[in-house]
Amino acid sequence: MPGPWDCWLTLRGLKTLAVRMREHEKNAKYLAEFLSRHEKVDKIYYPGLAGTSDHEIDYKQMRGFGGMLSFEIKGGVPAVERFLSGLKIFLLAESLGGVESLVSCPAKMTHASLPEPERLKRGIKDTLLRLSVGIENVEDLKMDLENALLNL
């Protein structure tokens, strides 16, 4: 049972949830489009991108595409390490979904306990990164990703 303070914080947060979610999604779509065109990105996973195999179904079934996206970068594990060390705004975290922009590397974090063959069977490559795109200025977020990609 939550206490009164927790309830008050929840109610206060609900008042701005729709606005925060719109910004979260708008930023994620913008960054997904940017990453989908970048030469150092191998593959991107975001249902809001037109031209993906399931986009038509996603568009029919969803009112929005959210603020989470995944992508694979070229260059193997060394590239992943250089990319992560080059980020300044995106923070490395396992728990995603806040108002701040976060990044995780599932193979080394959330799914590290799975044997490699099982991870690969599930599509979790060593070069897969997940972003929880926050509500910061989207141009700042793009610049952060761009600068980190320069390290590759």
Reported as a single tens digit per residue, the pLDDT across 26-83 is 999 999 999 999 999 999 999 888 776 676 777 777 778 889 999 999 999 999 999 9
Quick one: average pLDDT of 6-25? 93
**pLDDT given for residue 53 in this prediction:** 66
Phi, psi angles (nearest 5°) of residue 9: -65, -40
Map tokens 């306990």 to a residue. 113
**pLDDT given for residue 4 in this prediction:** 96
Domains of the chain: residue spans and CATH? 4-150 (3.90.1150.10)
Per-residue confidence band for 88, with pLDDT thresholds at 50, 70 and 90: very high
pTM score, whole prediction: 0.88
**pLDDT given for residue 5 in this prediction:** 96
